[in-house]
Amino acid sequence: MAGVTLASPLGRPREIGWIVGSQTPLAGFLVSLVFSGVIGAGFGIVFGGLAVTLGSGLLWGITYGFLWWLAGPLTLMPLLQGYGVLWTVEVARIKYPMLFGHLVGYGAVLGLGYVVLAWLISEKKKDVEVREGVLELLRAGVVGGIAGLVGGWAFGAWMGRMGMYPLLAGLVHSDSPMVGKMLHFAFSLAIGASFGVLFRKDIRGTGSSITWGMAYGIIWWILGPLTILPVWLGRGVQWSLDAGKGAYPSFIGHVVYGILLGLVYSIVERFWRILFTESDPLQREPEGPGIQSLRSLGRGVLASIAGGLLFTIVMVKTGVLPSVASLIGLSSMKAGFVVHMVISAIIGASYGILFRREAYTYGAGLAWGLVYGVMWWFLGPLTLMPIFLGAEVQWSLASALAAYPSLIGHLAYGAGTALVFHWLTLRDDLEMEARSRQRKVMRRRLPGTPAPALWVFILFMVVNLLLLFAE
């Protein structure tokens, strides 16, 4: 019954009663209930073996909800009604409000409910394991809470400039900016703590922690300003296309919050383990950590050449190289190219450090690279570059739409850098293959990883939201 949640994956209950020859709300509700249960059972059959933690259940559930948004209101329902599939941007915009219902009303509840029910009926629970689990949850919550406060500090700076604190204070019937600021940090603390609790078993390094943070920030953009906040203020959920457009600056803010959340969580977690946990001999490298980091940094710089050149093609076509040159007070395309390649090398080096333990296949490397490229689209042309040029962050929908070609360039950069980095890693590791084969097997992600769901969710929400929002 975990699949019977808050929304129907085929459509609104009042729209699907005709399947049983009735237009009454009760008929629609019963049909919705049956289909939700059947489709929820499908989740258990297909993804049950992958949803093994709360975090993996959440991500796989949300991705399953997204797939059923495509398969239900855009495909099966119009086919049953004789219209044929409706895979156009115009129809997607009409069905846009149902997207969030599928993601958080059905998918998220389905995934979390499945994991909780599976744990409750499991026969493997022991008192010792439960006690250790509680202590682990407390530790993850504390570390996540610290990280959440840091992310909230950065997001709060933008909220203060936009005058959003009085709106937040309205939740407790106040208009004081100070009250709103206190609520903001309380929410940041709670979201950060829940991040640690949900994803503590899925994060393997700083790179994956950052991307999990991005995804969680996007989830809270849906849950926060579009769902919980307006419901609390008595306005109902704001899942319309216009509401999404109006809240897009907050979308970028939540992404940046998530990036900082994941980064700080990984750093604090690492220090915690160094101070309070014995090192795991299975995780030790045959070389010292300093040498490993230098190797990864060098591979990242070399790989960035390929990614930077791919990005240059987009930059030449869009004529933005002179703007890049303005970072050092020049305006020529040659200067812009040099600055661009230097920045590419820095970002490539950071990719090598952050993701050296994440990808063990070209496919996984490609996916991590695409997500990393998306991350730097938010951090680069929309955030850091305007700041370096003495302007405000460009988090408006208009700025994001204008920078859409740059998003394509960042995707190309991330893909090229990640693929070449993986090739360089495989080539260099041949000398140590015999010694490291078992170590790689022990470090390899288990089948329950929600990484593929993470990739799908982030790339869809970033790339396609802009297409839906564009006029």
Cβ neighbours for 296, distance < 8 A, ≥ 6 positions apart = 352, 353, 356, 425
| Span 117-145, pLDDT tens digits | 988 887 665 554 555 577 788 889 999 99
Pick 84 or 283 by higher pLDDT: 84
Residues 263, 206: contact at Cβ < 8 Å? yes
Place of tokens 């846009």: 96
Using CA atoms, how far residue 282 sits from 203, 209, 444, in Å, is 17, 21, 12
Residue 190 maps to a domain? yes
Give residue 270's pLDDT.
Answer: 82
Mean pLDDT, rounded, for 432-461:
63
Q: Give me the sign of the Cα torsion angle 197, 64, 70, 374.
A: positive
pTM of the model: 0.87
Residue-level pLDDT at 121: 82
The count of domains in the chain is 3
- 116 shares a domain with 35: yes
Nearest-angstrom CA–CA distance, 61 and 293: 35
Q: How far, in Å, are 58, 167, 256, 382, 451 from residue 447 at the CA level?
A: 16, 44, 29, 36, 10
- Token pair belonging to 174: 């106040």
Does any domain span residue 281?
Answer: no
Q: Examine residue 1 and state whether it is found in any structural domain, yes or no.
A: no
Residue 313 lies in a domain: yes
Domain co-membership, 102 together with 165: no
Closest CA to 355 of 440, 293, 275: 293
Among 266, 165, 167, 262, CA closest to 220: 262
Query: pLDDT value at position 132?
Result: 54
Q: Are residues 170 and 210 in the same domain?
A: yes
CB atoms within 10 A of CB 222: 24
Closest CA relative to residue 393, chosen from 295, 238, 257: 257
* Cα 238 to the center of its chain, rounded Å: 21
144: closest CA among 63, 62, 257? 257
pLDDT tier for residue 6 given thresholds of 50, 70 and 90:
very low
* Six-digit token string for 1: 């019954």
**Do 146 and 257 lie in a common domain?**
yes
When pLDDT is cut at 50, 70 and 90, the band that residue 212 belongs to is very high
Q: Which of 18-22, 131-135, 197-201, 418-422 has the lowest mean pLDDT?
A: 18-22
Average pLDDT of the chain to the nearest whole number: 84
User: 337-356 burial by CB neighbour count: b if 16+ within 10 A, else e?
Assistant: bbbbbebbbebbbbbbbbbb
Alpha carbon distance 382, 393 (integer Å): 6
Residue 367 is predicted with a pLDDT of 93
Lowest mean pLDDT segment, chosen from 17-21, 33-37, 205-209, 419-423: 17-21
Note the pLDDT tens digit of each residue in 15-60.
Answer: 554 454 555 665 556 667 777 888 888 999 988 888 888 999 999 9
Which structural domain range is residue 106 located in? Answer: 13-120
Query: Cβ(61)–Cβ(111) under 8 Å?
Result: yes
326 and 434 housed in the same domain: yes
Element (H, E) at 304: helix 289-318
